[in-house]
Structure 1
Amino acid sequence: MGSQFPTTVCELAVPLAASNAVLEQSSVQAAVVHPAHRQLPLPDWTSATRPRRVAVIGDTGCEVPVTGPARNCANHQTGWPFPRFAASAAAVTRPDLVVHVGDHLYREDPAKENDKAANPGCTTAADRAGWDCVVADFFRPAEPLPATAPVALTRGNHEDRNAAQQGGAGGAWFRYLADVLRSDGRCITYSPTAPIRAGTLNLVSVDSSFADPGDTGSTAQTAVFTRRFDAVNRAAQQHPANDYFVFTHKSVWMVKAAGTLPPNVEWATHVLDAAVAATGPHQLADNVRLVLSGHIHLYQMLDFDTPRPPQLTVGSSGGPLDNGPDDTADDGGTWNLTFHDASGAVRGQTCALTTSTAKKSFVCH
């Protein structure tokens, strides 16, 4: 469609009984094909089994902002690490399923990037979010992963819609990566929830790309996201024997500041926590076992002694890392860490983290 998307996009449903899927050379009219061997990985689970190894990535694009310094896109050792991460995850982890929690496209001003030679169609501000930049930021560096396993995607705030809701990064998302593709370059603010059945494991994508867009702590959109989490609960309640994972770009319960007292805990995206609390049962269904997110550029795993499922935040796959949680509200206190097995028995050592800004320590015994 025009100069931004000079491509034809085809979709084909693969029969559940298929044992192999290959792109036939005679049917492909493209200069470059990814994966190069044209072999498409199929799920290796059945209706009675599930993926055993799930790779989670997020915030993977090479950050080239309009203002401020650009990431070193050409150096994958000390600069942009995503190509190296993708290759390692595919070769070492050998996942059965890959989940990308959003923010695929970061090249807001390609004129500032230092890997133009490798991306001749992604070199000027006018090329932003065009096909060649989508290839540069996602399809080429991510190639080892979709060549290894099926990939589930959700939308990040970098795949936002512009004022005209036409073209741009949002248009690229809906043309190439969304659950329901669009051929006209249009994008919408809030996508409906998208369920993905992987045997006895069910994933539900919740589009939080526009949740509290300024990250100010606003809860003005609570009703919008309550409807989406109500939809998650309805789906989970229809299959109570199956496990559900919610994956959404902005974390529901990522901690950005914390102390020992509940009032000292500050969530990164208040509106999503408020939306879950406003659902019919005031929580996610009991068989929602995990929430996967990104947005904040770090890794954080939280478990709770409440009905909340664990929250895993993986926003560390490409961009510069953010600071960890601010624990100054608990200056001088101690956090205790104990590992338990499924039966509740303590495994290994118990560790104590002192949060004093003057003398931090982490001691296990």
Structure 2
Amino acid sequence: MKERQRILKIRNLNISFKTDSGKVSAIRGVNLDLYKGETIAIVGESGSGKSVTTKAIMGILSKNGTIDSGSIEYTWEDEQTKELHSVDLLQLKEAQMQKEIRGRKIAMVFQDPMTSLNPTMTIGKQIMEPMMYHYGKTKQEAYAQAVELLELVGITDAKKRMKNYPHQLSGGMRQRIVIAIALSCDPYVLICDEPTTALDVTIQAKILELIQEIQKKKNLSVIYITHDLGVVAKVADFVNVMYAGKIIETGTIDEIFYDPRHPYTWGLLSAMPDLDTDDDELYTIPGTPPNLTQRIEGDAFAPRNKYALKIDFRKEPPMFDVPGSSSHKVASWLMHENAPHVEMPAALRKRLEKMRKGGM
């Protein structure tokens, strides 16, 4: 079996923001690994820190954001010598990030294509520009490659579309254009921040399939940010569940969907819409996320967790290894050997068994 090559290694990442209400500790000790050709998903409620983590990778934090500690080690292979090179992205200056990393080695697809596209520039010019900037390609070379990219992302009559402006295209086509721009410099890592949120379900499925096809062709490593577990089930190899700026459960797609161990993950899976359910109302996790301007004592999820132990209110849980797995880890005191045994809710177990039989 071929050895997996780690392309991104995030360790002990802590990020805060200065606001009128005080200092917000948005990211609290995040550890994350991404390997070549694999897809990881980062899931959680709004405000859990999913987008902030990936913006730190891209070096596009807002001005009031500060990286308090940690490292983001990026590793790539030199195409000529085949040697591996590593760099801590957090140590690079803005000019280096702009010239060497952003768009060239790591690219991002945002959730609203209209905020990513320039309304005053033709589609063709917007796809050609990164290739000319990063690789010094001539207009003719960039044009030919842009047409190829439009065809790759499934846009028909590509040469005609090169002359169009964003407002002349549908939402699905605009998102395809954004993907084409992200791929224009052949990046090694593609970050997709809720790439299908604004699209209807049929277009959503096509965009997800498209990203998967391109990933296989180019051996891309992909990070998906989403709150939609249905999307995760279709695309991810590994899942990282975030809550209040921390990763609280991580594992393979099967481990998270069929053997979840954290009560918060149980809540997220229970809140997934299901056509076969007998309930009249969709399940919601009780309570609200904590205020990150205040210091959190113990487990941030404890006030919303009906299974919380006394220690949860005093001491933050470490990451426990799930017995029998090298990839499944959970930050919950319920995993401690002295903790009482707690089963996931029966309704959720029944639902997950049904999902397993149906092959998700």
Q: Same fold (TM over 0.5)?
A: no
TM range (shorter): under 0.3
The structure that is helix-richer by fraction is 2
Q: How does the TM-score come out when normalised to structure 1?
A: 0.26
Return the structure number with greater relative CO, CA threshold 8 A, min gap 6. Answer: 2
Q: How does the TM-score come out when normalised to structure 2?
A: 0.27
